[in-house]
Structure 1
Amino acid sequence: MPTPSALPPFQALIDAHWRDVARLARALAGPVDGDDVAQRAWEKALNAYPGLTSAKNLRSWLLTITARCATDLHRSRRPQSPLDDDLPLTVDGPDVTDWPDPDLWRAVGELPERQRVAVTLKYVADLDHKAVAAVLDTTPAASRRLVSDALATLRKELDS
């Protein structure tokens, strides 16, 4: 097992992956909150970095942190009720009017949270299903199902 000294300097990690983190943060939290989510992800990564024992899959590790920071932001803004776990996020979702294809992004924002995160990780962050599953703490088969269900919903929504 590599020692922590085998890790690249944190600045090298930033230089290599800042665009990926920023892009995913904006896709999940919107242009207004995306920068804050990315900043929070980098803070969490910096705090956890000394404890890492392997330089393997650092990009996936960073994108997992970013997705969780975006999820935390959304959860902090929605009313807390045991009945609304699967309700679509529409009240405080990103303002997508200035994005390319705002209808698509509006529909993505209305997906249930796990489907929204799964499809965004798959197509914005370009993660494979194994990495998406790791972020969502599920299996690759469940990741495929979440993405498939999200795409079916989006097709139905956008075709109508």
Structure 2
Amino acid sequence: MTLKPFEDVVAEHGRTVLRVCRAVVGPVDAEDAWSETFIAAMRAYPDLGPESNVEAWLVTIAHRKALDHIRARDRRPVPTDELPEQTTDRGLPGGHDPELWKAVGALPMKQRAAVAYHYLAGLPYTEIAVILGNSPAASRRAAADGVAALRKTLSISVSGDIT
């Protein structure tokens, strides 16, 4: 079995990777992390086994690129007298809901990543564990804690109603 053309991989998984990047690094750096993900993936794609889970492989690369962006952002000076650039709501968790985005951004990194990888990318906890370097149970716990924190922060009951 041969690999699909890389353009087809980008078309099939591009939106998922963008949603993950937006959830992990935020809307400003997401497109850069997305681009770096696919540049790195394009270089490594010919060596990928034909039976590999391409989506999980791409999310793993996106995770690493997102961490690189977070580290770089933490070292970058923050201008205070300029307006932030306009962003699109493509791939933004919850559409264009700034309150939800703020709550997701406030989660600890492992919880934010576990929520993004499971609920946005649809990855199983066994694959999330590989990406985060922990166990499937720890990944499941991080996602559950993240969702619980979001529900508490946003005052959402278990049934989804706002209280």
Q: For this structure pair, what is the TM-score category when the shorter chain's length is used for normalisation?
A: 0.7 to 0.9
Task: Output the amino acid matched with 1:151.
Answer: V
Percent identical residues: 43
Partner residue of 2:25 out of 25, 29, 54: 29
Task: Output the amino acid matched with 1:31.
Answer: P
SS in 2 for 1:78: helix
Partner of 1:138: 134
Alignment: residue pair count: 140
| 8 Å contact from structure 2 (residues 23, 105) kept in 1 | no
SS in 1 for 2:29: helix
Partner of 1:86: none
Task: Output the amino acid matched with 2:128.
Answer: V
Structure 1: gaps spanning 5 or more residues: 80-94
2:19 & 2:144 partners in 1: Cα distance? 22
How far the C-alpha of 1:70 sits from its partner, in A, is 1.1
1:155 & 1:25 partners in 2: Cα distance? 22
Considering fraction of residues, name the structure with more helix: 1
1:68 & 1:123 partners in 2: Cα distance? 19
Return the TM-score normalized by structure 2. Answer: 0.75
Q: How large is the Cα RMSD of the aligned pairs? A: 2.3
| 8 Å contact from structure 2 (residues 111, 145) kept in 1 | yes
Structure 2: gaps spanning 5 or more residues: 76-85, 90-94, 156-162
Partner of 1:40: 36
1:115 & 1:147 partners in 2: Cα distance? 5
Partner residue of 1:100 out of 90, 96, 100: 96
1:65 & 1:55 partners in 2: Cα distance? 18
Give runs of ≥4 in structure 1 deviating > 4 Å: none
SS in 2 for 1:22: helix
The more displaced of 48-57 and 120-129 is 48-57
